[in-house]
């Protein structure tokens, strides 16, 4: 009974948020549904004492609360800014995150200082000045609304809602800027400063483009990649290794634990958790990294304890709490979605398909690595096809040739950055080892990316087929549990 109520609460809330993400539901209708749910709950609890009635009423009540949660987060655009869209305006604000660096520009997320209507604006600026998190600036330029765009795969990217989940509603291109002061949360500022110095030491010891790959592996720094190199990672299905998402960190943390499996079990598990902790700290402890870290930690706990279904409840609860904090991530945050899907694959699919890889040697934990890689790739593939429209025919061999070396590459990269911060000479041998592994990984990516028909673009992979595939996956994974639930 308790399990059924738990799932009714979790799925009721998620479905309420999901419905409200796509369809506008008036708040009074949501309140009316909640009143009905409460009335049914009282009836089935106090009078009828029907357990299924109680579960249904709980579902209805929490479903309405999910609608209400999204409704209160879905605030209308501030009038004071709406009337000035397309006009030249002057504002003051604070940089709320570290600058995002690309080949030709950098982007700053600014929280304005207008007390009655604090909102965020995305500024695209040049490299004339070195901006930091926490800086206060005066800026003036043409205020514009965020627009969606078409990706290289022909898919429309919902850029407006992707930024809206973080409170960014407007943009400015190359405004005039005056830096007035430094500030911000001293802990967050210290983390970003440490990250910057860490990358600087890596760049001193490892040449480009290998140093860019190292920054992507450890910190998710892929913005400085040139277009051709980034496309090579996309075509080979290896873009996840340089993305700040659970798709990367879940697998990497699993391998860290495997690499140290010769130690007592608790030590290997501890190194895996420590690897996640380092990843989050190094990346600046942003919300994306924290979400990825939570998912990866749950996957490690499941694999270490073998209590998959206990951890599954924790995974669902973690997802619900994240959605409660920010309901926009359910539909508009691809990183969250990939993290969740990849974690499910590691927990449930990898143990089931391991029997098909018994012919692979267990040396260097190769069997486990290939099993986890295949499980995650197969399970996230329908989502990638629907969301990105890219089908890589070389993804499995490319990942299998690269991924076993990722934990060692990251380890040597950490040592290069840490020892480089202490004394340059100490970092040199780790820099050489890092370069050798990174160079090999780039060779693999470039080799497979230049094969004929390495990848295809499917610009309109149907949502219906995606849902059908995942319905089949869910039935195969949880069919017996669903039947016992009823």
Residue 1, H or E segment: none
User: 82-130 pLDDT, tens per residue?
Assistant: 888 999 999 999 998 888 877 778 899 999 877 556 689 999 998 888 8
User: 403-427 pLDDT, tens per residue?
Assistant: 778 778 887 888 898 888 888 888 8
Most confident of 147-161, 261-275, 334-348, 381-395: 381-395
Residue 391: predicted pLDDT: 87
| Paired sense of beta strands 176-181 and 136-142, if any | antiparallel
Residues 93 and 18 in one domain: no
Domain count, the chain: 3
Query: What's 152's domain CATH number?
Result: 2.40.50.140
- Poorest-pLDDT segment among 15-29, 41-55, 179-193: 179-193
Whether the per-residue pLDDT at 39 is higher than 70: the answer is yes
Within the chain, what is the greatest distance between any pair of CA atoms? 78
Query: Is residue 131 within 8 Å of residue 95, measured between CB atoms?
Result: yes
- Poorest-pLDDT segment among 22-31, 55-64, 198-207, 225-234: 225-234
Please state, rounded to an integer, the average pLDDT across all residues of the chain: 83
Residues 154 and 293 in one domain: no
- Domain containing residue 109: 79-184
Residues 158 and 275 in one domain: no
Q: Domain ends where: 18, 52, 73?
A: 73
What pTM did the predictor assign?
Answer: 0.82
User: Distance (Å, rounded) from C-alpha 294 to C-alpha 276?
Assistant: 9
Q: Domain ends where: 133, 151, 184?
A: 184
Asked if residue 189 is part of any domain, the answer here is no
Distances (CA, A) of 202 to 190, 242, 423: 18, 16, 13
């Amino acid at each position: 009974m308790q399990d059924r109520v738990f799932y009714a609460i979790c799925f009721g809330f998620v479905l309420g948020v999901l419905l409200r993400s796509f369809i506008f539901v008036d708040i009074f209708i949501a309140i009316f549904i909640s009143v009905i749910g409460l009335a049914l709950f009282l009836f089935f609890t106090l009078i009828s004492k029907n357990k299924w009635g109680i579960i249904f009423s709980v579902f209805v009540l929490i479903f309405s609360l999910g609608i209400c949660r999204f409704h209160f987060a879905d605030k209308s655009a501030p009038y004071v800014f709406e009337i000035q869209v397309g006009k030249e305006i002057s504002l003051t604000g604070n940089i709320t995150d570290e600058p995002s660096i690309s080949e030709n520009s950098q982007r700053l997320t600014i929280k304005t200082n207008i007390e009655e209507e604090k909102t965020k604006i995305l500024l695209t600026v040049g490299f004339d000045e070195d901006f930091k998190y926490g800086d206060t600036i005066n800026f003036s330029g043409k205020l514009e609304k965020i627009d969606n765009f078409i990706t290289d795969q022909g898919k429309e990217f919902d850029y407006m809602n992707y930024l809206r989940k973080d409170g960014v509603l407007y943009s400015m291109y190359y405004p005039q800027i005056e830096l007035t002061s430094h500030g911000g949360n001293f802990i967050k500022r210290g983390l970003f400063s440490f990250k910057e110095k860490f990358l600087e030491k890596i760049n001193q010891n490892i040449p480009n483009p290998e140093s860019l790959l190292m920054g992507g592996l450890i910190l998710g720094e892929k913005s400085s990649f040139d277009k051709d190199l980034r496309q090579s990672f996309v075509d080979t299905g290896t873009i996840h290794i340089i993305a700040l998402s659970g798709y990367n960190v879940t697998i990497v943390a699993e391998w860290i634990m495997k690499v140290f499996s010769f130690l007592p079990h608790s030590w290997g598990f501890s190194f895996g958790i420590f690897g996640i902790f380092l990843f989050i700290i190094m990346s600046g402890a942003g919300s994306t990294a924290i979400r990825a870290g939570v998912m990866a930690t749950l996957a490690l706990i499941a694999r270490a304890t073998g209590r998959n279904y206990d951890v599954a409840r924790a995974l669902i609860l973690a997802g619900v709490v994240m959605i409660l904090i920010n309901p926009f991530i359910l539909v508009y945050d691809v990183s969250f979605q990939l993290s969740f899907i990849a974690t499910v694959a590691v927990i449930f699919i990898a143990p089931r398909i391991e029997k098909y890889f018994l012919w692979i040697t267990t040396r260097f934990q190769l069997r486990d690595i290939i099993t986890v890689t295949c499980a995650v790739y197969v399970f996230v593939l329908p989502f990638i096809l629907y969301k990105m429209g890219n089908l890589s025919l070389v993804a499995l061999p490319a990942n299998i040739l690269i991924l076993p070396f990722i934990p060692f590459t990251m380890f040597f990269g950490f040592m290069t950055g840490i020892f480089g911060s202490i004394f340059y000479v100490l970092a040199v041998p780790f820099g050489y080892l890092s370069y050798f592994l990174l160079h090999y990984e780039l060779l693999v990516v470039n080799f497979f990316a230049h094969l004929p028909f390495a990848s295809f673009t499917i610009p309109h992979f149907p949502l219906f087929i995606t849902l059908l595939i995942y319905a089949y996956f869910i039935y195969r994974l949880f069919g017996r549990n669903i039947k016992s639930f009823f």
